[in-house]
Copies of this chain bind each other. A is one copy, B any other.
Amino acid sequence: MTPEPPARTRQAPTLEAVAELAGVSRATVSRVVNGSLRVSPAAHAAVTRAIAELGYVPNQAARSLVTRRTDTIVLIVHERPDTVFADPFFASVLRGVNQALSVTQLQLVLLQVQGDRQRDRALRYVGNGHVDGVLLISLHGDDIMPMSVSGAGVPLVMAGRLLTGDPVDSVDADNVGGARQAVRHLVATGRRELATVAGPVDMSVGVDRLAGYAQAARDAGLPASATRVETGDFTEASGQAAAARLLAEHPTIDAVFAASDLMALGVLRALRAAGRRVPDDVAVVGFDDAAPAVYADPPLTTVRQPVERLGAEMVHQLLRRIADPTGDAASVILPTELVIRSSA
């Protein structure tokens, strides 16, 4: 009287069982499962039926052991130790990643990394063949992860670009172009005394959006006095503080380009606190990273980057790189879009 084993323990059907039921060898079953062409219709049918009957699903561990593939990629989010990464941006990227992945056999492992300990653990995980490829979202402009990963020969695609200039497969929004759109819009609507609340200078997004701002201001023939810059860290509070500084020192400002949506919100608050009217008095344009700034009231004119698509493109590029590990690093730049709403 052997006791009934718990469901959990009940042996999942193996290749062997399928082979037996179908009356063929394990190799043939394997061929069918893996879509080999060199199988007779009869064998194929028998195997397919047996698989259905038994509810067979390949054991991934056994498969990985021999193929050295894992059918898994990892998304690493390398945050700063102190900062909380902007949720909506991340969630939107993730949505795009999942969508692109849903038509593949690949599974997604998620790794949130803060600090050197966790980073090194992640690096070890990746370096040890646990995944077929890496997607990286890094908040560090000089992160060592990208080079460590690609140096280990593991396919990698990162969001944004490396401030070090090292070549890495990457997908990025057109931050320079987006900032230019913002400035051109402000100038086109008659603004002449511009300022920007820029992002951190140690992040490519920060650098690029500032560069676009400066370029466009120069192109518009604005004097240097009309290109004020204060820096924030992408948070609402920092945007508010930066705007307050701007207003105190340059009361004649009539437009602000905020390099993130959260900072744009802060700018709005600072303007209100200072008794300025938006947009009559001062116009505001923010960069839309999918954070909730669009819920500002009145709604904000923004430069929108296609965040979800960014995630999907990262996957596509990674798949390409996995299929063909050779060749130079490629950068995909996604266009931004100016979305005009009432407050600018």
> Which residues of chain A have a CB within 8 Å of any CB of chain B?
6-9, 12, 57, 59-62, 64-65, 70, 72, 84, 87-88, 90-92, 94-95, 98-99, 102, 107-112, 118, 124-125, 127-130, 151-154, 265, 290-293, 295-297, 325
| Chain B residues, Cβ within 8 Å of A95 | 84, 87, 112
What number of copies of this chain does the assembly contain? 2
Q: List 12 A-B contacts (CB under 8 A).
A: A6-B325, A7-B152, A7-B153, A8-B325, A12-B129, A61-B61, A61-B64, A62-B65, A98-B110, A107-B130, A110-B110, A295-B296
Instruction: Report Cα–Cα, A61/B95, bound state, in Å.
Output: 28
Give bound CA distance, A154 to B151, whole Å: 38
Query: What's the least CB distance linking A325 to chain B, in Å?
Result: 7
CA distance A153 to B6 in the complex (A): 7
CB of A24, distance to nearest CB on chain B (Å): 22
A22–chain B nearest beta-carbon distance, Å: 19
- Closest CB-CB distance, A70 to chain B, in whole Å? 7
Verify B12–A59 contact, CB threshold 8 A. Answer: no
Q: Report yes or no: A98 in contact with B112, Cβ–Cβ below 8 A.
A: yes
Give A119 to B225 CA distance when docked, in angstroms: 59
A130 → chain B closest CB, angstroms: 6
Given contacts A130-B60, A154-B8, contact A110 B112 (CB under 8 A): no
